[in-house]
Chains A and B, each alone.
Chain A
Amino acid sequence: MERKMIGVYILGEYFKVPEGSTILTALEYAGFQLKRGVGCREGFCGACATLYREKGEYKLRGGLACQTVVTEGMTIARIPFVPAERANYDINKLKPDVNTFAELYPSVFRCVSCNTCTKICPQEINVMDYIQDVIRGDIASAAITSFDCIRCGLCALRCPAEIVQFNIAILAQRLYGKYLAPRSPELEERIKEIEEGKFDAEIKRLKGLCREELVREYYAREIEIS
């Protein structure tokens, strides 16, 4: 099947690529062997942040190269790395409150609520909202709102207040997971049972079974799922 070709500008240079390509596959079709700015290729790793302009548009758009389909006349700039301030910390010594952020990321208070971060986010996260959550001290909401962040870094690049949203997001998530999420009682019980050796005899018995016996037990086992 002969594919229709369209023209795009990769870093300003004109290339013909198949219609329907993503920015990532268009780059490869053009002959770029990618090292930086490529990762999981499925929208989970944030390696392939890209800035682009559609033909005739004033607006600078952002997206993931692996998830964005090229259009005729598109101009593409790759963003293989985002320089970003990152605080080092010992998670065991932090408190899940606003003071932690004031100390580690004081720039968070520079937020001018312009919403540029939210508009550029390829995950459609309400980035500004979770930054405001942090400022208000609602760490749980910040963690939950930012959860789908894949650290592509576009928010931080566009932020006029120079906040590093994605680093703030992971800190909020870790504080929530460690200190604020309720603990699971059955998990603690199970760990105790294992430490007390409750399952040792049964595991030992299973390990001692021959293949035929294992097959029999396996296919006879009760299925209790919902």
Chain B
Amino acid sequence: MYPDYMKESIAKVEKTRERRYRLALEHGKEVFKPMTEEEREGILERYHPDYQSDARKRVRIGPNKGELITDRVVDLLESYPRDNPDQFDLNDVDFDTEILIIGAGSAGLSAAIEASERGLNVLIATKLRLGDANSMMAQGGIQAATQRNDSPAIHYLDVIGGGHFDNKPDLVEALVMDAPKSIRWLEELGVMFDKNPDGSMIVKPGGGTSRNRLHSAKDYTGAAICRTLRDEVYNRSDRISYIEYSPVTELITDDRGQVAGAVIYHLETKEYSIVRAKAVIIATGGFGRLHIRNFATTNHYGATADGLVLAYRVGANLLYMDSVQYHPTGAVFPEQVVGFLCTEKLRGLGAQPVNKNGELFVYPLEPRDVEAASIIRECERGHGITTPSGLKGVWLDTPLIEMLNGEGTIENALPAMFRQFKRFDIDIRRYPILIYPTLHYQNGGIEINARAETKIPGLYVAGEASGGVHGRNRLMGNSQLDIVVFGRRAGINASERVLGGVKLGMLTMEHVRNYMRELDQLGDVPRSRIAPMILPDYIPDHVKAKQLTLNYFGTLT
């Protein structure tokens, strides 16, 4: 429960609630004026973490050499391989497969289903278990222009405006045009979406959407999708095999420059295996566990951007890796849930962000970067509340949800959120929650085209690891869509490549040797800085001081 000084602030929130409730009845979601273009740009420049002077640095190696990129991503790219490529005998192939998929979130699982549907043999290598991914944690919804007052063109405009007009048009077109049939595909696999008794979809707005377009499965939308895809993958064991606890540590090419396999490492047995494949799909997700600018994160334990490193070393280029998504509403109290996601669906259902005096300060459904910057500004103005552990935040007034939508809405539509706070003695039906932006999503990634191809033959990317779909800021519900649309496209197009006949030459890891030579030439990259990171490192210093471990997972020193 909240300490007394927070209760005093909550009393102020309660005092203004009736007025804000009336405002919502009168103006719908527009309880505060949405920002103009100039206002958006202005607040981002001053308050968004990406725009701070030390947020980015120039990467000195690889295809994006010379570009300004988020600092910890640069460290990751300027890292040595985990292993010397000379140690591997590439003639000794352990797994020969048609398609290798790296990662088993909803993008990887969708790709696997589509490839198996085409009769191909698939191997999934995943660092933890099938379904251990950010996909499983998505709460709020999946976008698709299914409503009669909506259209793929309106969706297109929302996506590209939210992304600051930097999105690749072909990718946005694929995203919005495939969206309705992706929902149907998921339904046919057995995903349970929230519906009205007549079968019509219950849809809500999200930040930056101009229509009600978020389809949800309570606030377990990602889990409902991901567990269904995983179950389907289990059922296709005749075509799809998988190895768990086995991250890929390096890609393998052939002597013609095609991607032709990978080195996988088993986390428990510490064995390395060589995989040969005619096409490789990277579906490794994002980078929240890099804790960029020391932010807490909503992300899965395994979100360490491994795919970026693998693809970059083999010559694929990155797009918009100067841009990081901070989800506006991460929990900051109690301490056990710091950084956890408080779904945007809360605001979609009418919860309002208010400061310590109970005052509104922003339109609740701005695109995420703008909403996050506004919350940071409010705290910097001294209008935030400080937690006992020294974090700052503003209130998200959740009791409004039931005032606006009726008693029982929170338990029915937001069971995960309700449960999350109830576990720590906070009833979100009665009390607001304290929130601050939290590191959430990798807006950019490995550049792909609408076929999910990279510029390297044989290498495909889908989902959060890819770049270009969302420009420099993703909207709520478009990642769940992205992973299904481009997961499937990757699976379909990789299959087409293999069915078209692929001749592999001699396997090689020359690209890794070249990369190491370039790193040597930089002169100042410590040998102990290694990537892919695989897992973050949360061992406290007092324990480390007594260990003689040479390389931790997550070493980014």
Partner-B contacts on A (CB < 8 A): 1, 20, 22, 25, 28-31, 33-36, 38-45, 47, 67, 69, 86, 88-91, 123-124, 143, 147-148, 150-151, 170-171, 173-178, 181-191, 194, 199, 202-203, 206-207, 211, 214-215, 217-219, 221-226
Contacts and interface: CB of A to CB of B under 8 A. Distances in A.
B84 interface: no
Interface stretch (B89-97, B156-164, B374-382, B517-525): B156-164
22 contacts: A28-B539, A31-B539, A36-B268, A38-B301, A41-B301, A47-B132, A147-B224, A173-B224, A174-B189, A177-B191, A178-B189, A185-B200, A186-B148, A186-B200, A187-B201, A199-B153, A206-B160, A217-B157, A218-B160, A219-B36, A223-B210, A224-B210
B201 A173 contact: no
Interface residues of B, number: 95
A151 B37 CA distance: 45
A210 B231 CA distance: 44
A143 B193 CA distance: 12
Contacts of A36: 245, 268
Contact of B300 (A22, A41, A207, A223): A41
Interface string B198-211: 11110001000111
A187 B224 CA distance: 19
Contact of B156 (A41, A183, A203): A203
Given A33-B537, A203-B153, A44 B137 contact: yes
B538 A28 contact: yes
Given A43-B419, A181-B199, A203-B156, A22 B301 contact: no
B386 interface: no
B423 interface: yes
A225 B210 contact: yes
B538 A203 contact: no
A170 B227 contact: yes
A178 B188 contact: yes
A224 B191 CA distance: 28
Given A39-B300, A178-B189, A207-B173, A33 B535 contact: yes
A89 B184 CA distance: 21
B406 interface: no
A148 B220 contact: yes
A147 B153 contact: no
Interface in B4-53: 28-30, 34, 36-37
Given A42-B137, A69-B336, A191 B184 contact: yes
Contacts of B149: 224
Contacts of B423: 43, 67
B192 A173 contact: yes
Contacts of B151: 199, 202
Contact of A91 (B173, B193, B232): B232
Contacts of B223: 44-45, 150
A81 B201 CA distance: 37
A140 to B, nearest CB: 10
A68 to B, nearest CB: 8
A173 B218 CA distance: 14
B420 interface: yes
A182 B231 contact: no
Given A39-B128, A184-B146, A45 B192 contact: no
B58 interface: no
Interface string B282-302: 000000000000000010110
A38 B195 CA distance: 33
A143 B128 CA distance: 27
A149 B139 CA distance: 14
A206 B146 contact: no
Nearest to A220: B157
Given A67-B336, A225-B211, 9 more contacts: A35-B245, A147-B192, A151-B227, A175-B190, A206-B157, A219-B161, A221-B154, A224-B211, A225-B212
Contacts, number: 224
B540 A31 contact: yes
B341 interface: yes
Contact of A42 (B28, B173, B177, B340): B340
A78 to B, nearest CB: 14
Nearest to B169: A207
Contacts of B218: 147-148
Given A174-B231, A184-B201, A187-B184, A91 B190 contact: yes
Nearest to B546: A31
B416 A44 contact: yes
Given A44-B136, A203-B177, A181 B336 contact: no
A29 B377 CA distance: 34
Nearest to A92: B188
B88 interface: no
Contacts of B193: 177, 181
Nearest to B300: A40
Contact of A29 (B181, B341, B540): B540
What are the 6 A-B residue pairs with the smallest beta carbon separation, nearest first? A174-B190, A182-B199, A218-B161, A31-B543, A225-B205, A177-B190
A175 B336 CA distance: 37
Contacts of B201: 184, 186-187
Interface in B234-292: 234-235, 237, 245, 267-268
A186 B211 CA distance: 15
Contacts of A44: 136-137, 220, 222-223, 416
Contacts of A148: 218, 220, 415-416, 419
B335 interface: yes
Contacts of B419: 43, 123-124, 148
Contacts of B152: 194, 199, 203
Contact of A20 (B190, B235, B335): B335
B183 interface: yes
A148 B552 CA distance: 35
B87 interface: no
Interface in B325-347: 335-337, 340-341
Nearest to A217: B157
Contacts of A211: 165
A206 B153 CA distance: 8
